[in-house]
Structure 1
Amino acid sequence: MTSTEAPSRSWVLPLCWSAVLLDGFDLVVLGTVLPVLLAGHVWNMTAADATVVSTIGLVGMTVGSLTLGTLNESLGRRRVLIFSVTVFSVFTLLCALAPSAFVFGLLRFLAGLGLGGCVPTAITLASEHYERSGRPGTATTAVMSGYHVGAMATALLGILLIGPLGWQAMFVVGALPALVLVPLMIRYLPDSVAPAQRSRSSIKAALAVLFRGRMMGVSIAFWVTSFMGLILVYGLNTWLPEIMRQAGYPLGASLGLLLTLNFGGVAGLLVAGVVADRVGIKPATLGWFVVAAVMLALLSIKLPSVALYVAVFLSGSFVFSAQVLVYAYTTRAYPPDARATGLGWTAGIGRIGGICGPLLGGLLLTAGIVYPWGFYAFAVVAALAAIAVGVLNTVSRLPAPTVDQAGATVETSNQS
C-alpha cells in the first residue's frame, strides 16, 4: 500500500495525539471554571451543584467508553475516533451558551459521550500501528502525553482568559481546534492494521473474550485498577485549585499548581513508556502507583513554595502516567479482535472511579475538611491501585483467548 493509495502511518501519532489533547482540555476545564462559577454565584451554583455537574459529565464518558469502545470492532477505529472528536467538540462549544446549571450539566453529559470514546480508540489505534516495532508502550504514552498537554494548556488559558473574557471563553477555545482536526483526520488518518470483522458477531465474540473463563479475572483486575487510577486523575484535576484555595493560596497560584500537576504528567509519560518497554509493563505500573501514593501523602504537609511545586510536579508525574500504563497493559493483555473492546471497558468502568473522584472531593469540601484530608484520601486510593496491580500480575499470567474468524475463541499464550 503506497502513500498515494492510503493515509500514511506517519499521521497516526500526531492525529491521535491531537484528539487526546482536546480530551485533556476537557479534563481540566471544569477545574478552572468551577471556582469562578462558585465565587460569582453563576446560576446560584452551590458546591453540591458543582459536584452534580462534574459527575454527570463523567457518566456520559462512562457510557461513551463502553458503547463506542465496543463499536470499534464493527465500525473501525478511524470512524469511531472521528465521530468522538466531532461530538465532544460540538457540545463543548454549546457549553459557553448554557442558560442554566441544568442545561450546562446536560451539555456536559452529551460531550462526555464523545469524550468517552476518544481515549480508548486513539490508544488502540496508535498501539496497533506500532506493535510490530516493539514500541506499543511508548506509542501509548506518547499519545497520552497529549492528554496532559491539553490539561496544561487549559490551566494556562484559565489564567490568561477567564479574567478578561469570562469563563465562557474556555469552552469556545476548547472546541475551535476541531474545525481543523476533523478534516485532517478524514483526509489522513488510516484505520487499524489489525484485522477487523465488520459484523455484529465480531462484537459478540469480542465481549465473550472479556467475560469467558480465566480472562474474567484479568478483566476484573483491570477494571479495579482503572477505577482507582481515575479517582486520582479526575479528583485532582477537578478539585486541586479549590483544595489549594482552601489551604490559603490565591486562585492564580492554585491554577499554577494545576498547570504544574499536568506538566509533571507529561514529563512522567515521556519516561513511563520507555521504562515499561524496557523493564516490563507489570513492574512499571506497580512502581508508579506506589510512588504516587507517597507523593500524594506528602502534599498534605505545609511545604515551602518551591518544595510544594516540586511535590505537585512529581505527583503529576506518577499519578497520571500510572493510569496510562494501565491502558498500555490492557492493550497487551487482549487479542487484536477484542483489544478496543477490552480497553473501552477498562476505561469505561474506570470512569466510574472518575465519577467518584470529584464526588469524594466535593464531599470533603462540603464537610470543610478537603485540606489536608483530601490528599490523605487520594494517597489511600493510590495504594489500593497498587494492590490491584499486584493481583493483576498474578491472574494475567494465565493464557488469553483470541478470536478466530468464525467468532470462536482459541487459547493462546498471553504476552502481557
Structure 2
Amino acid sequence: MDANARPPSVRRGSGLPVVAICFATIVFDGYDLIVYGSVVPSLLADRSWHLTAAQVGAIGSYALIGMLIGALVTGAVTDAIGRRKIIIVSVAWFSAAMILCALAPSPELLGLFRFVAGIGLGGVVPTAIALTVEYAPRDRRNLYNALMYSGYSVGGILAAILALALIADHGWRLMFWIGAAPLVLILPLAIRYLPESAAFLLAHGHRAEAEALAVRYGLDLDAVAGDTGRAGEPASDGAHTRTRTGAIALLFRRGNLAATLLFGAASFCGLLLVYGLNTWLPQIMRTAGYPLGSSLQFLLVLNIGAIAGTIAVSFLADRFGPKIVTAGAFLAATLCLYVMSLRLDTAVLMVCVAVAGLGSVGTQILVNGFVATHYPSASRATALGWSLGVGRLGAVLGPLLGGWLLGSGLGFQWNFYGFVLPALLGTVFIAAVPRLRAVAAHRRGISVPTRDSASARP
C-alpha cells in the first residue's frame, strides 16, 4: 500500500480542534495570572496581613519569576520530549498550585505558591503557540495565533467579571479556587484529543504517525518538513535542528543573532506592560478616586481592547507582515499611556485603556506570532521559549515597577509615565528586526531588498 495513501475511513480535517484546546488552556493561563490584579485592592485592604504596595508588587512578581524558569526550561526540553506532554503536565501543575494559593495562610506562602504556579504557567504559552502555528493554515498563521492567544485576554475578562460579582461577598480566596477549574475542564480534553506536533514526530523519525496526523488535521507534511529549513537554505539545516543543541544553536548563529536578541528585548518590554498594567491598573484607578467596581471595569476594558484590537490587526499582520503592525501597536501603547495620565473624561479614558490593551497584551501576542513565523518549525518552540523567557524578566519587573510607582508618592501621572518608556523601546526593537528574506539572502551572500512577510516560504 502506498505510504502516502489516505485511509478510506478517515477524512481530511482541519487543525481547529488543536487551536480550540490551546485557546481553552490559554484562557485559564490568562485567568490565573490576571486574577492577581483583580485581588490586589482586596489584599491591600486585608487588615490581617497589613501589606504595603511594594509587598503586594513583590508577591505579584513571584509568579512571573516562576514563569521565567518555566518558559526557559520548556523552551529547552519541548523540542526533545514533545509539545503534547508539556501542555498536559503544565495544566495539571498550575491548576494544583492555584488550590494552594486559595489555601495560603500567610503572605509568604501565597508568594511561594504563586511562584510554583508560575513554573507551570511558563510552560503553556510557548508550547501552545508552537502547536497553533503548526496546525494553522500557512497563510493565516498570525490570525490563528491571535485568535488562540486572545484566550489570555478572555481569561482577564473572566477574572474581572468574577471579581466584580464575587469578591465583595465571598472574598479574594474564591478567585483562586476558580483557577483550579482546568483540572476538570481542560485536562481530560487535552489527554484525549490533543495531538503531538507533526514536526516533532518527523524530526524524531516517526513519519507514519505524522502522516496519520496530516490526514486527520489537514496538514501538508511537505510544508511541515520544508519548514524545518529557511528560505534558500539547504535541507540539511532542518536536520541540524532536530536535537535540542541544534535548535538552540540556530537561534544564535550569525544570521539569526540580531533577531533573537531583538525579539527577547521586545518581549521584555511587552511583558512588562502586560503584567504591570494587569496587576496595577485597578489600584491605580482607585488612587485616582474611582471605587473598586469602577476600577475593576478598567481591567475589563483593557482586556476587551486586547481581544478586539489584536484580532483586527492580525489580519493586517498576515497581509503586510508582522513587523510593521507590531511596531505600530507598540507605538499606539506609547501614545495612549501618555494620554491616560491627563485625567480625561471617563469615556475618553476608557477608549485609551482599550487601545492600551491592544498595545500591551495585544502587542505581545503579535510579538509571539512574529517569532513563531520567523523561525523554522523544528526550533520554533525553542525560539518562543527563549523570547518569552527573556521577556519574563520584564514581566517580573512590571509588578515591582507598578508597586514602586504607587508607593513613591510621585503622583497619578507617574503611574503611567513609568510604562511609556518600555512601550517606546518596544517600538524601536521591533522596527530593528532584520527582514526575513533579507536574513536568508545574507546567509547566501547576496542582497535581496524586500519587505518582511509573515508567510515567507522556501
Q: Which TM-score tier does this pair reach, normalised by the shorter chain?
A: over 0.9
Whole-Å separation in 2 of the counterparts to 1:394 and 1:8:
30
CA contact (8 A) 1:61 1:112 kept: yes
CA contact (8 A) 2:258 2:434 kept: no
Aligned-pair CA distance for 1:11: 1.1
Alignment correspondent of 1:51: 57
CA contact (8 A) 1:209 1:401 kept: no
1:84-126 Cα deviation digits (max 9, x unpaired)? 1111111012100001111111111111011011111111100
Alignment correspondent of 1:124: 130
| TM-score normalised by L of structure 2 | 0.84
Whole-Å separation in 1 of the counterparts to 2:193 and 2:171:
36
Aligned CA distance change for structure 1 residues 299 and 396 (closer, same or farther; 3 Å) = farther
Match of 2:341 among 295, 300, 303: 300
1:103 aligns with 2:145: no
Aligned CA distance change for structure 1 residues 364 and 381 (closer, same or farther; 3 Å) = same
Whole-Å separation in 2 of the counterparts to 1:44 and 1:96:
18
Gaps of 5+ in 2: 1-5, 206-240, 444-454
1:22 aligns with 2:63: no
Match of 2:362 among 321, 337, 342: 321
CA contact (8 A) 1:218 1:396 kept: no
Superposition map of 1:104-183 within 5 A: 104-132=110-138, 134-183=139-188
Q: Give the letter aligned to residue 25 of structure 1.
A: Y
Whole-Å separation in 2 of the counterparts to 1:181 and 1:293:
36
CA contact (8 A) 2:340 2:416 kept: yes
Whole-Å separation in 2 of the counterparts to 1:400 and 1:65:
31
Aligned-pair CA distance for 1:394: 5.7
Whole-Å separation in 1 of the counterparts to 2:12 and 2:92:
22
Superposition map of 1:14-413 within 5 A: 14-132=20-138, 134-196=139-201, 197-198=203-204, 202-369=243-410, 371-393=412-434, 397-399=438-440
CA contact (8 A) 1:86 1:182 kept: yes
CA contact (8 A) 2:54 2:400 kept: no
Aligned CA distance change for structure 1 residues 193 and 272 (closer, same or farther; 3 Å) = farther
Aligned-pair CA distance for 1:178: 2.9
Whole-Å separation in 1 of the counterparts to 2:437 and 2:113:
39
- Structure 1 or 2, whichever has the larger Rg, is 2
Aligned-pair CA distance for 1:10: 3.1
Partner SS, residue 175 of structure 1? coil
Give the aligned length. Answer: 404
Percent identity over paired residues: 42
Whole-Å separation in 1 of the counterparts to 2:204 and 2:119:
22
CA contact (8 A) 1:23 1:150 kept: yes
Segments of 4+ moved more than 4 angstroms: 1-8, 198-201
Aligned CA distance change for structure 1 residues 131 and 343 (closer, same or farther; 3 Å) = farther
1:350-383 Cα deviation digits (max 9, x unpaired)? 0110011111111111112352112112122111
Q: CA RMSD in A?
A: 2.3
Whole-Å separation in 2 of the counterparts to 1:131 and 1:48:
46
Aligned CA distance change for structure 1 residues 113 and 7 (closer, same or farther; 3 Å) = farther
CA contact (8 A) 2:306 2:361 kept: yes
Aligned CA distance change for structure 1 residues 372 and 335 (closer, same or farther; 3 Å) = same
Partner SS, residue 43 of structure 1? coil
Aligned CA distance change for structure 1 residues 342 and 247 (closer, same or farther; 3 Å) = same
Whole-Å separation in 1 of the counterparts to 2:172 and 2:434:
44
1:290-317 Cα deviation digits (max 9, x unpaired)? 1111111110011112112122112212
Aligned-pair CA distance for 1:46: 2.2
Aligned CA distance change for structure 1 residues 215 and 176 (closer, same or farther; 3 Å) = same
Gaps of 5+ in 1: 403-413
Partner SS, residue 199 of structure 2? coil
CA contact (8 A) 1:215 1:400 kept: no
